Amino acid sequence: MSLQSRARQALGLMDLTSLNENDSDESVSQLGVSAHTSQGSPAALCVYPQFIQAARQGLKSVGLSLPIATVTNFPDGEALPELAAAETAGAVTLGADEIDVVLPYKALKNGDEFVCRQLVTKCKAAAGGKLLKVIIESGELKTPELIRQASDIAIECGADFIKTSTGKVSVNATLEAARIMLEAIKASGKPVGFKAAGGVRTAEDAAAYLDLADEIMGEGWVSAKTFRFGASGLLGALLQTLGENTANNQTAGY
């Protein structure tokens, strides 16, 4: 597949993201506006819970209706299942369509698998049928064994997607971690999706992940229901690859 074809495909798989300390209603609304391009629109927007309605208003202003994702237990992945579940339920009340929750990855590194299982199970229930993406923070887990263990736990406890990273640590999405996670999904036999987040910044980067998904899961598996990119700066790079003026589509990096 040509790079342009991959770029067009990747655009439709993006969770267009802004998770910055200086986010505001105005900046997040503009993020929604930037989702409208001549090349199509992303799969969803991902913002902090307090900005869900601003994101929706931005989308509405350009005639788009896309799912809004938000984050819970973010970014530190605390080992507090009840609190994470309460945050998740609160996000649903605020209008979130999708929840990206951080697994207690530090607890897993210390050998506490039980609290990870408990947190995902409780957040799945609290999500009330909304899409639940579990962030395993693969760059902090580091070893293939821990990345696979975290993936398996999330899948077994009800995750709809497993996601590489918060974008807030030094090592985020990598192809090596993506391979382990995709192999875990395939081995499970369950309809679970994969999300690469943090560090996917160019059309070439996106194409490499899509090629990997095709290799492991088979051509035709990738769709917005099974594969996402968590990114913001990627949008401009994809549009540039597709020949569109990106002046109105620049957002903060993630």
Examine the residue annotation and report whether 130 is marked as an active-site residue of this protein: no
Catalytic annotation present for 109: no
pLDDT tens per residue, range 51-88: 999 999 999 999 999 999 999 999 999 999 999 999 99
What's CA 2's distance to the chain center, in Å? Answer: 25
Rounded to 10 degrees, what is the CA torsion of 96, 73, 202, 18? 50
Q: Of the residues 122, 130, 133, 163, which is catalytic?
A: 163
| pTM of the shown model | 0.96
Calculate the CA 203 to chain-centre distance: 17
Catalytic residue (choose from 122, 124, 195, 205): 195
Written as one letter, the residue type at 142 is K
Of 15, 100, 160, 205, catalytic: 100
- Give CA–CA dist 207/205, Å, rounded: 5
Residues 116-155: pLDDT tens digits?
999 999 999 999 999 999 999 999 999 999 999 999 999 9
Q: Does 195 qualify as catalytic in the annotation?
A: yes
- Per residue in 193-251, pLDDT (tens digit) is 999 999 999 999 999 999 999 999 999 999 999 999 999 899 999 999 999 865 544 44
Instruction: State how far the Cα of 49 lies from the Cα of 106, in Å rounded to an integer.
Output: 24
